[in-house]
Amino acid sequence: MKVLAEQIAAALGVGCAGTVELTPGRTRRALKIDTGDASLFVKLLPAGRTEMFAAEMEGLALLRDTGCFRVPAARGCGTAGDVSWLALEWLDLKPVSTDEDGRAFGKALAALHEVHGELYGLPRDNWLGDSRQENGTSTSWPLFYAQKRLRPQLERLIAEGMRGELISNLQGIVERVPALFLEYRPAASLLHGDLWHGNAAMVDGQPAVFDPAVHYGDREADYVMTELFGGFPISMYASYQKSAPLDAGAASRRGLYRLYHLLNHILLFGSPYLRETERTAARLLSELR
């Protein structure tokens, strides 16, 4: 790892006073590089994934420029030997765990969602975890969500050989998505896009986010994502609702926004997420009929 760290440091024009290989996450290895002046957090993937890291840098910059959250500054990305790498400033992260943390995070998230774009989506594709997330832009959020979020997942599942009730239910849902938006026209809010508690933290008392799948869309999508896979302190939701109350019909779209992330987890991690996804899809289609 020392040689790799030195190659990365040289590409960035900084020193390499030391390096530590960090405990790997589900899909990524990472290094901490001491430059002598500061520390860097460096993500590693197999060579050929620089496009993925370039998209992540763009998403981080969009979030950072709003000033709503503490967001790690990207120092650069590239290829060294048989790996692609992304270097970020090192942040000392603490979990969003206390009521005070939750209130601060909810207020920051509401402020982020007040940053609006002219169109839904994003000009370039990016990644949701290790899944490519199709973007492009649209003037219609329901059509964008059906065609750029749910349909690509449906097609991937079919290509991987899945058949049965989940597939037929998804086909019905994709056709009926606009029915959930007959009286609701969401603003094109800037979304983190993958906002579970593992991509959020506190840094020196300030809410922080990272690992985004940024695009412009319905703020309810981010809100619902925070409820998945462990969630945040209850105070976060109360704080958000106080700052930016959700539409009265938000509950009717909760299953729709859960479904996207559950499907992605099936594609990434397989059967452990299948039953919950099947239940969510069946319930949603029943409500849409």
Among residues 255, 273, 100, 263, the alpha carbon closest in space to that of 180 is found at 255
Exposed / middle / buried, residue 145 (Cβ in 10 Å: 0-12, 13-18, 19+): buried
Active-site residue (options: 65, 82, 130, 194):
194
Distances (CA, A) of 219 to 188, 190, 272: 8, 8, 28
- CB of 186 closer than 8 Å to CB of 253: no
Q: Is 161 helix (H, G, I), strand (E, B) or coil?
A: coil
Q: How far apart are CA 212 and CA 69, in angstroms?
A: 12
**Is position 194 annotated as part of the catalytic site?**
yes
Beta strands in 100-210 (DSSP E): 120-122, 126-128, 131-133, 136-138, 189-191, 200-203, 206-209
- CB of 19 closer than 8 Å to CB of 5: yes
Beta bridge partners of 217: 189
- Please identify every residue annotated as catalytic: 194
